[in-house]
Amino acid sequence: MDTPPSSQIPDEGDLPPEEIARHLHRAADWIRHYLETIEERAVLPAIEPGEFSAQLPEEAPVDGEPMDRILDDFARRVPPALTHWNHPSFHAWFSNTGSGPGIVAEMLTAALNNNAMVWQSGPASTEMEAVVCDWLRRMMGLPEGFFGQIQDTASIATIAALAAARQRATEGRVRTEGLRGLPLLRMYSSEEAHSSVEKAAILLGLGQDAVVKIEVDEAFRMRPDKLQEAIERDRRAGRLPMAVVATVGTTGTTSVDPVAAVATICEREGLWLHVDAAYGGAMAVVEEYRWVLDGCGRADSLVVNPHKWLFVPMDCSVFYCRDRQTLKEAFSLVPTYLMTPQDDRAYNLMDYGPALGRRFRSLKLWMVLRAYGRRGIAERIRRHVELARLLQDWIAAEREWEQMAPAPMSTVLFRHHPAGLDDEEGLRRHNEEILRAVNATGEVFLSHTIVRGRYALRLAIGNIRTQERHIRKAWRLLKEAAAERASSI
Ligand code: PLP
């Protein structure tokens, strides 16, 4: 038989493995240097929009460039134009960590390039995801019965939870017919809930108005009595209450909604209860702080972000769901090309969320949980809460500083309130200037929030490398900036 003619197409392929290893060694050396010298960098770059992109060519190169040149360019151009989340003085929003074990895992994840769409496409990654989600569930003291999986972000997990809630509330009609002919669906969250809840309502076709914002108490926690009233009001108006989103660790103040009381209402009213514990859930790893998840075992779903306060690099969001069947009914759609042999011992992760492709995210969670252990993680979180207490003590000891909200976790809200400056607008401007001044030093990065209409500085502690000296530095810079500005009032 004739052999078919061979093609003239050159076989370029990838870089040879030994060359890849050489660049990895270079990258590893750079990472080491980066972490060793991170405190010498500005947390927040002094850079204007467009300044970075102006350094890059308009088009991709026609011919490939040597990796050494690309790595040189990376080191010279990229880090100076970045905000350094791995800096121990990063205290804005919620600080997080790309920890050592997580960094190593990310490198291996890229090398494996696994895609756990179906069990067959990633046996170890599918099963490791189940195992580590269950490890974390036990570490946080949640009961059995939760099906765990990893999403990229809490926002996507909340969309998945509410899609399942919508599926259940409409007895599956929404899946085939959409929202046509259905009463207006309603969901409830506190006025302190994260914007991802409203975004989910928009994306699910319910509309932003479908989210009823429930009043909070003096500690910024959802008021169950107001929730009950809102549900009854909606039922009387012919609307269809569908779900409640309670928050453990709200973005503004880290308040914890009374989940047990909310769960009682949800059970009585037949509503799906989703708990957004994106930041605060981590605290339950510490034995004495388990209370933060009180009542969460009765929730239908819960999300916690290891990429926030559990030292796992972006992105890793663990999504637990008790009603696994409804979740599957909301999402499962199997095209012919993805039909794989059925085996009751296996399941396909693509059936439980919006995405088909799936990074091997469980590897970094596995490595982080193993490298620090439950005790090591608990000690680090406990330490962050202690540091936040220390800062609160310093604030309380100063006449002209005031705390703006209780701090049940590791995020503290406060402001400078000099004698003689009492109007809210003036106080806002004064504290805005303090924030701008301390952030401009490059030595720290804090953010702000609005608490009951009042401007507050916000210092979050959650990076694994943050020590007492970093909090002392932030406090010194804040006091210096305040003294400078107060003298001109
Ligand atoms: N929920 C809470 C309470 C948050 O604070 C945040 C972000 O900070 C989110 C959800 C959204 O998290 P993600 O970026 O993982 O979508």
| CATH code of residue 449 | 3.90.1150.170
Q: What is the mean predicted confidence (pLDDT) over 354-367?
A: 96
Q: How close is the Cα of 195 to the center of ligand 1, in Å?
A: 8
Contacts of 62 by beta carbon, 8 Å cutoff, 6+ apart: none
Please state the pTM of the whole predicted model.
Answer: 0.95
- For ligand 1, pick from 194, 198, 292, 314 the residue to mutate: most ligand atoms within 8 Å of CB: 194
Say yes or no: CB of residue 247 within 6 Å of ligand 1. yes
- The whole-number pLDDT of residue 1 equals 60
Residues 379 and 354 in one domain: no
Residues 322 and 377 in one domain: no
Residues 255 and 194 in one domain: yes
Residues 166 and 307 in one domain: yes
CB atoms within 10 A of CB 479: 17
Each residue's pLDDT tens digit, 39-54: 999 999 999 999 999 9
Say yes or no: CB of residue 411 within 6 Å of ligand 1. no
**Residue at a domain's end among 299, 330, 359:** 359
Residues 310 and 218 in one domain: yes
Domain assignment present for residue 176? The answer is yes
Cα–Cα distances (Å) from 157 to 138, 162, 252, in that order, read 20, 9, 20
Say yes or no: CB of residue 276 within 6 Å of ligand 1. yes
What whole-number distance in Å separates Cα of residue 353 and Cα of residue 126? 14
Residues 221 and 275 in one domain: yes
- For ligand 1, pick from 151, 196, 292, 304 the residue to mutate: most ligand atoms within 8 Å of CB: 196
**In this prediction, what percent of the chain has a pLDDT beyond 70?**
100
Domain assignment present for residue 62? The answer is no
Domain assignment present for residue 248? The answer is yes
Domain assignment present for residue 316? The answer is yes
CATH number at residue 196: 3.40.640.10
Count of domains for the chain: 2
Domain assignment present for residue 37? The answer is no
Each residue's pLDDT tens digit, 209-261: 999 999 999 999 999 999 999 999 999 999 999 999 999 999 999 999 999 99
Residues 427 and 446 in one domain: yes
Residues 352 and 375 in one domain: no
Domain assignment present for residue 69? The answer is no
Residue 399: pLDDT over 80: yes
Residues 140 and 275 in one domain: yes
Residues 150 and 226 in one domain: yes
Residues 300 and 185 in one domain: yes
DSSP string of 439-460, one letter each residue: HHTSS-EEEEEEETTEEEEEEE
What whole-number distance in Å separates Cα of residue 401 and Cα of residue 171? 54
Say yes or no: CB of residue 190 within 6 Å of ligand 1. no
Say yes or no: CB of residue 155 within 6 Å of ligand 1. yes
**Residue at a domain's end among 298, 324, 359:** 359
**377 lies in which domain range?**
370-486
Residues 317 and 210 in one domain: yes
Cis ω for the linkage preceding 68 (within 30 of 0): no
Domain assignment present for residue 179? The answer is yes
Helix (H, G, I), strand (E, B) or coil at 377: helix
**Residue at a domain's end among 359, 385, 415:** 359
Each residue's pLDDT tens digit, 402-413: 999 999 999 999
* Closest-lying ligand 1 atom to the alpha carbon of residue 251: 5
Domain assignment present for residue 157? The answer is yes
